Amino acid sequence: MIIYEPSILVAEDFSAVGRLSMTAAISVFSGFGLQTAAMPTEVLSTQTEGFGRPAIFKTDDWIEQAMRHWQAISDLNLNAALVGYVGNIATVTLLTNLLRRSNMAPVVIDPVLGDQGKMYAGFDSEYLAAVKKLLATATVITPNVTELGLLTNTKLTRHPQIRRF
C-alpha cells in the first residue's frame, strides 16, 4: 500500500511559457519538500504579461474528473489549498464546491480580479459575485488594492489612508 504524504492543492492557471502562477507555486512548494496536487484552472500558451494574447484551454472537464479520481484515493490527503487565477465562473463554482466539502486548512486565495484601479478585461459583475462566494471558503485572502476595492465596492485608489510605495 502506498502512503501519501499531506498535499497542498494548487489551483491556478498553468502557463506553458513564463515564470508565474502554477509554475512558480509548485516550484516553491517543491523547494520546501512539500507535495502538491496541481489543478490547472486554465492552460495558457504563455503568461499574460509580455507575450501578447495567449491561447487558452479550459480545464473544467478535467477538473471534475480529477476531483472524482482524487476522492477515490483513500490515502490522498489534501490538507491545504492555494488558489490563484481562475478565469471563468464555471471553474470558480467547481472550486467553491470542492473547498466547501473539504477539510482543507489553511485555504489561501488570491482573488486575481484586476489592477491599476480596473477589473481585468473579460471579467464582469457575475464573475465578481462568483469569486466572492469562493472567498467565503478562505482562511486567508491576498487581494491587491484594486481587488480589495472591487470586493468591497469601495474606491480605494484615492482613499487618504492608502499610500503608494
Q: Name the grid cell of 107.
A: 485555504
Facing residues of 83 across strands?
11, 109
20-24, 25-29, 130-134, 153-157 — most confident range: 130-134
Q: Mean pLDDT score of the chain, rounded to an integer? A: 91
Give the percent of the chain with pLDDT over 90.
73
Q: What is the pLDDT of residue 164?
A: 58
Q: What is the pLDDT of residue 109?
A: 99
- In the chain, what are the domain boundaries? 7-152
Q: Name the grid cell of 45.
A: 500558451
Entry pTM: 0.90
Homologous superfamily (CATH) of 7-152 is: Ribokinase (3.40.1190.20)
Q: What is the pLDDT of residue 11?
A: 98
Taking residue 145's Cβ as centre, other Cβ atoms within 10 Å add up to 16
Beta carbons of 25 and 53 less than 8 angstroms apart: no
How far apart CA 4 and CA 135 sit, in angstroms, is 28
Q: Within 13 Å of residue 92, how many CA atoms lie on the same side as its CB?
A: 22
Facing residues of 57 across strands?
43
pLDDT higher than threshold 70 for residue 89: yes
Q: What is the pLDDT of residue 156?
A: 72
